[in-house]
Amino acid sequence: MVLTFNCFLRGIPKKKLYLWAVAQAKTAILVGILDVGFLAAAILVTQLALKGDERIDAMGILGAGLNIIMYASPLAVMKTVVTTKSVEFMPFFLSFFFFLNGGVWTFYAILVHDIILAVPNGTGFLLGIAQLVLYAMYKNAKPSKNVISGLEEGWQHEHLIPPSDQIVSQQD
């Protein structure tokens, strides 16, 4: 009620407020399904379908796969860095700690002879090295104006869910 009254006073139509709320709800539902639902499904399947060492191996492989996805997530940013010849889109400390975390866990995995730890963290260590090398190569480079204007036009960004303002404009 208060939100609707404030929007009325500020000149925001109720329809746009409603459509924005619907978009936010869709995002919350997607996050809930992916975060909570995926974890619940993994726990349920491993508890009901697998026993003993199979359960441990399945969860280890699932964790290793998700770990590789986490370490690979900056690949899109690395492409942007190469395209723009600028590291403004790649935070140094994120790259450094990916490198450090991957290296420490890889070293530990080698010490205890654990392949499930070694593969994803070794991948993360190598991707961290690649990010730091890229950072060193482009930290002082001047970005091209043509490429930056292309980024501002949006050709580089693809959204999983369209922003709420696009949903509002599509349904007007």
Percentage of residues in the chain having pLDDT higher than 90: 21
Task: Give the pLDDT band of residue 41 (cuts 50, 70, 90).
Answer: confident
The alpha carbon of 2 is separated from its chain's Cα centroid by a whole number of angstroms, namely: 35
Helix/strand/coil for 91:
coil
Say which range, 23-32, 40-49, 136-145, has the weakest mean pLDDT.
136-145
* Backbone angles phi and psi of 140, in degrees to 5: -110, 5
What class does CATH assign to 53-158? mainly alpha
Query: Is 138:95 a contact under the CB 8 Å cutoff?
Result: no
Q: Identify residue 80 by its one-letter amino acid code.
A: T
pLDDT at 143 over 80: no
Q: Identify residue 15 by its one-letter amino acid code.
A: K
Give the span between the Cα atoms of 83 and 134, in whole angstroms.
12
Query: Is 84:69 a contact under the CB 8 Å cutoff?
Result: no
Give the span between the Cα atoms of 131 and 92, in whole angstroms.
9
pLDDT at 53 over 50: yes
Domain range annotation of the chain: 1-49, 53-158
pLDDT in tens, 58-116: 888 888 888 888 888 888 888 888 888 888 888 889 889 999 999 999 999 999 999 88
Say which range, 33-37, 116-120, 141-145, has the weakest mean pLDDT.
141-145
Q: Per the structure block, which two tokens stand in for 32?
A: 């809930």
Task: Give the pLDDT band of residue 42 (cuts 50, 70, 90).
Answer: confident
Residue with structure tokens 């700690």?
97
Q: What residues contact 46, with CB distance under 8 A and at least 6 apart? A: 55, 58, 59
Residue with structure tokens 């866990």?
105
Q: Identify residue 109 by its one-letter amino acid code.
A: A
Per-residue pLDDT at 155:
47
Mean pLDDT of the chain: 79
Give the span between the Cα atoms of 31 and 41, in whole angstroms.
15
pLDDT at 149 over 70: no
Task: Give the pLDDT band of residue 46 (cuts 50, 70, 90).
Answer: confident
65 vs 163 pLDDT, higher one: 65
Query: Is 86:141 a contact under the CB 8 Å cutoff?
Result: yes
- 171 CB-side CA count, 13 A: 15
